């Protein structure tokens, strides 16, 4: 089985081709918790500036500098790296919706200044802008496709979101055979609302399909994938389930990937859209505090659970038998 790519190039909300693309995006999200798309953003020069220059420079910094990237509000919020046996490092830029936080990030890593990176942080701003636009298009399509007619509710959904960028580096394992692959990130679901994942040249990302097989997402230059996290399950009342995915990289090639993620800003609760709850679709999840959920997902109980979201805020199903007894 394979996931069909949806072409979003040149589409405008409500314009020609929008409805067909919306239906294809929704079908893919419902079936797999993700959608592979071609779209107008992340052009060749931008990718080259980010993956060819900015990221190698960032990950080339001394460990002490990278470790200054700390963010405690969510699990794995800051720098991840130096994990024994794992050739993986990742940095998170907490807020990419404006130029200020991007400049602050550069200032934190290069306190003496780094004009080159600051110029390139425009690269990061451009990249984030393209990713935000894509996320907003895809989520709008999914909510519309599932039957949300209230445009204000969709706008309000986006107004509560903040966007962050995770930049990841997967190193090589020279001790393994030339053509071997290794699991670099074990199978997991993201706790966020959605992640737009861009792979650069080297493959690795795999998503699990309903028959249990793994689909390798092609690292094509004009393609990226939008992956649903657990919070989107809450918003869509379980119609879209978070995507189970993992990373399996070739042992002999370095790999970079970026993830543009979104989460409600602190203090916002995530709840199912009114129009997606009815008699045929009873409420599946209670309103949930996304930051408390991120803690739970990584707690001992959450890690052991097969369905952390259900354990955290699932509404127990009422058996028809019980209803009869009560009536
Ligand atoms: O590197 C990738 O392609 C995806 C990484 C990922 O799934 C994650 O960091 O949550
Ligand atoms: Fe992930």
Reported as a single tens digit per residue, the pLDDT across 140-166 is 999 999 999 999 999 999 999 999 999
Position 292 scores a pLDDT of 95
Residue located nearest, by CA, to atom 3 of ligand 1: 205
Predicted ipTM? 0.99
Regions in the chain scoring below 70 on pLDDT: 115, 118, 120-121, 175-179, 319-327
Position 321 scores a pLDDT of 63
Distance (Å) from CA 28 to ligand 1 centroid: 19
Which residue is it, tokens 């993700």?
34
- Summarised one tens digit per residue, pLDDT across range 258-287 is 999 999 999 999 999 999 999 999 999 999
| Ligand 1 first shell, C-beta below 6 A | 166, 168, 185, 190, 197, 199, 204-205, 245, 247, 257, 259
- 194-200 sheet: strands from edge to edge: 6-7, 34-38, 223-228, 194-200, 255-264, 161-170, 88-93
Q: How far apart are CA 87 and CA 169, in angstroms?
A: 8
Please report which residue ranges of the chain form alpha helices under DSSP H.
Answer: 18-32, 44-47, 55-59, 63-66, 99-109, 115-146, 151-159, 230-235, 290-297, 300-304, 308-313, 320-326
- Summarised one tens digit per residue, pLDDT across range 30-67 is 999 999 999 999 999 999 999 999 999 999 999 999 99
Distance (Å) from CA 195 to ligand 1 centroid: 9
Q: How far apart are CA 10 and CA 235, in angstroms?
A: 28
All residues with CB under 5 Å from ion ligand 2:
190
Distance (Å) from CA 134 to ligand 2 centroid: 18
Whole-prediction pTM value? 0.94
With the most atoms of ligand 1 within 8 angstroms of its CB, the residue from 78, 86, 198, 205 to mutate is: 205
Q: How far apart are CA 265 and CA 189, in angstroms?
A: 20
Ligand 1 atom, smallest distance to 246 CA: 7
Q: How far apart are CA 245 and CA 187, in angstroms?
A: 5
Token code pair at residue 291: 């930051």
Distance (Å) from CA 92 to ligand 1 centroid: 12
Token code pair at residue 244: 């189970």
Q: How far apart are CA 158 and CA 138, in angstroms?
A: 12
Total Cβ atoms within 10 A of residue 149: 9
């Amino acid at each position: 089985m394979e996931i069909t790519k949806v072409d979003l190039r040149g589409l405008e909300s409500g314009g020609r081709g929008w409805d067909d693309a919306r239906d294809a995006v929704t079908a893919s999200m419902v079936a797999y918790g993700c959608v592979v798309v071609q779209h107008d953003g992340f052009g060749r020069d931008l990718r080259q500036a980010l993956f060819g220059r900015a990221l190698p420079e960032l990950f080339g910094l001394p460990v002490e500098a990278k470790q200054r990237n700390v963010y405690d509000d969510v699990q794995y919020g800051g720098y991840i790296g130096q994990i024994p046996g794992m050739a993986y490092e990742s940095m998170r830029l907490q807020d990419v919706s404006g130029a200020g936080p991007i400049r602050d990030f550069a200032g934190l890593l290069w306190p003496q200044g780094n004009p080159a990176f600051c110029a390139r942080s425009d690269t990061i701003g451009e990249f984030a802008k393209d990713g935000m636009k894509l996320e907003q298009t895809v989520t709008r399509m999914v909510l519309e496709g599932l039957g949300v007619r209230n445009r204000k509710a969709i706008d309000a959904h986006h107004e509560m979101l903040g966007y962050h960028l995770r930049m990841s580096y997967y190193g090589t394992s020279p001790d393994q055979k030339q053509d071997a692959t290794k699991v670099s990130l074990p199978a997991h679901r993201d706790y966020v609302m959605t992640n737009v994942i861009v792979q650069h040249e080297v493959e690795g990302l795999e998503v699990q399909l309903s028959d249990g097989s793994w689909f390798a997402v092609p690292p094509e230059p004009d393609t990226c994938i939008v992956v649903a996290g657990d919070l989107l399950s809450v918003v869509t009342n379980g119609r879209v389930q978070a995507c189970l995915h993992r990373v399996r990289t070739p042992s002999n090639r370095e790999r970079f990937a970026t993830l543009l993620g979104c989460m409600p800003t602190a203090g916002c609760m995530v709840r199912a859209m009114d129009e997606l709850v009815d008699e045929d679709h009873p409420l599946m999840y209670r309103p949930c505090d996304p930051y408390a959920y991120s803690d739970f997902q990584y707690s001992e109980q959450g890690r052991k659970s097969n369905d952390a979201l259900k354990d955290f805020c699932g509404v127990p199903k009422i058996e028809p038998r019980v209803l009869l007894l009560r009536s």
